[in-house]
Amino acid sequence: MSVLYSSTRDDSKKLTASQAILQGLAEDGGLFVPDHIPALDKSIDELANLSYQETAYEVMKLLLSDFTEEELKNCINKAYDSKFDVEEIAPLVQADGAYYLELFHGSTIAFKDMALSILPHLLITSARKNQIKNDIVILTATSGDTGKAALAGFAGVEGTKIVVFYPKHGVSPIQEKQMVTQKGDNTCVVGIEGNFDQAQTGVKQMFNDAALKAELDQAGFQFSSANSINIGRLVPQVVYYVYAYAKLYANGAIQKDEKINVVVPTGNFGNILAAYYAKNMGIPIAKLICASNENKVLYDFFQTGIYDRNREFILTSSPSMDILISSNLERLIYRIAGDDVSKNREFMGALTKDGKYEITDEMKAKLADFYGNYTSEEETASVIKDLYEKTGYIIDTHTAVATGVFKKYQKASNDTNTKTVIASTASPFKFTRSVMNAIDEAKYDKMSDFELVDELSKIGNVKVPNAIEEIRTAPVLHDTVCEVEEMPSVVKKFLGIQ
């Protein structure tokens, strides 16, 4: 049965997967959701023997049902190739009572590569399927990792252009260097004088600007998105949770149908939503553990049923999670509201108007599978140091937030027997200063960023990733900085239409 997509705010219009991928964000500001979540049609015994690429096909064929087998396999094979530095694509590493799902072996050493390696191919295929003549302009806001992964994915891809906005003072030095050194005539990187939420809101406003849309169309362009609001980003993320479960079973770590817990460090809610979709497709997941940093808007939501972004925005050592408006949560709200668009519209209207909304008790009861908590800055550093001293395994700050929450969950629930997968979302090399200072601040505080890279490689006994080697001496190619209200004019200037 084909899966069709409609907006979380108006379900009267049904789109195919390729149409939803092309559009990115619904015209009414809502997000595209599937009309049903299909069950996996392969048994765990069958899945256990598959490669990552084969698993990707088995998951994606169900959710992207208007793609032919040839189209989908072509996209998958182009995406998950030698740009990943390990054959498994997403290996599992056991350390201190948990299985770390390493999602950072792609070309930009963060989990965003898992989806953004394939999205350009899905988009171009979608454009061909729907006879689109315009060039596609990818418009993206990033809190650090999406930007570079999207740039790497789309650089040089014919028929596309990409504009990435990031908070000028809200990403790590290495994250920024990765973006501003990006090659490719079709790429544009812009720092904004503001935070990620402002960048994301600015991008959404451009998507919903009818006059701008008409102006672009006349010039032969149309917007699409590479943010996790695009269903073409979310679907590939479901794959690695299915793959992780199948590999645990194949390796004898779990019995058939044994439930596991999944811990995800979460800002925009896309990565944990993918785990929720995997569970709904039939993967035996017991608890979905949502880990926040000190911007703990999601933790408070799971505690109280009130989503309230009216609070101080805190810059932390896990900047990809420094988010107060978790866009993908809307997909979950829609689902627990019984797929009720008017109810969801009401909540999102309140979020825009008052910065908060409160769900009903009935909806709250449907969140029983979730557990939320947060890890403070001090705790994050302590987790990195403890794990390294105990096992020699070094994790980044975002993964440390997840590990900290995992420990809190175990303590609060006495659930110490359920096998647990922790989504390890970035390489420690991406946040070397925070990671090395956590291990021994007195020793490493005076070193430069790249001296820290070499030291991390030495003490962790891990090779420096190519993504880091490449930017050591790379020249800065993008130096545009703008105010939030100047974002549309920057886009038009790049496209040569003003």
pLDDT tens, residue by residue, 205-251: 999 899 999 999 999 999 988 877 899 999 999 999 999 999 999 99
User: Would you say residue 434 has pLDDT above 90?
Assistant: yes
What is the pLDDT at residue 67? 98
Per DSSP, the three-state class of 263 is strand
CB 101 within 8 A of CB 422: yes
* Closest C-alpha to 223, from 482, 20, 22: 22
- The number of angstroms, rounded, from the C-alpha of 161 to the middle of its chain's C-alpha atoms is 21
Parallel, antiparallel or unpaired: strands 98-102 and 420-424: parallel
CB 349 within 8 A of CB 290: no
Phi, psi of 494 (to 5 degrees): -60, -40
Other C-beta atoms lying within 10 Å of the C-beta of residue 472: 12
* Helix extents (H) in 184-310: 196-207, 210-218, 231-250, 270-280, 297-304
pLDDT digits (tens, 9 = 90+) for 54-103: 999 999 999 999 999 999 999 999 999 999 999 999 999 999 999 999 99
Residue 449, C-beta contacts closer than 8 angstroms, at least 6 positions apart: 173, 174, 432, 433
CB 375 within 8 A of CB 405: yes
Quote the CA–CA distance of 242 and 283 in Å, as a whole number. Answer: 7
**Strands of the 480-482 sheet, one edge to the other:** 221-224, 135-141, 160-167, 187-192, 480-482
In sequence order, the β-bridge partners of residue 101 are: 92, 423
Quote the CA–CA distance of 201 and 487 in Å, as a whole number. Answer: 11
What is the pLDDT at residue 146? 84
Q: State the residue for tokens 């049902």.
A: 65
Quote the CA–CA distance of 69 and 86 in Å, as a whole number. Answer: 25
What is the pLDDT at residue 405? 98
- The number of angstroms, rounded, from the C-alpha of 10 to the middle of its chain's C-alpha atoms is 25
Please, which pLDDT band fits residue 358 given cuts at 50, 70 and 90?
very high
Average pLDDT over residues 256-264: 97
Average pLDDT over residues 403-409: 98
pLDDT digits (tens, 9 = 90+) for 137-174: 999 999 878 889 899 999 988 889 999 999 999 988 88
Q: Range with the lowest mean pLDDT among 62-71, 118-127, 270-279?
A: 118-127
Q: Which residues are tagged catalytic?
A: 112
What is the pLDDT at residue 147? 87
Residue 216, C-beta contacts closer than 8 angstroms, at least 6 positions apart: 134, 137, 222, 223, 495, 497
Q: Which amino acid is at 490?
A: V
In sequence order, the β-bridge partners of residue 137 are: 161, 223
Please, which pLDDT band fits residue 48 given cuts at 50, 70 and 90?
very high
Q: What proportion of the chain, given as a percentage, has pLDDT over 90?
A: 87
User: Would you say residue 342 has pLDDT above 90?
Assistant: yes
Please, which pLDDT band fits residue 347 given cuts at 50, 70 and 90?
very high
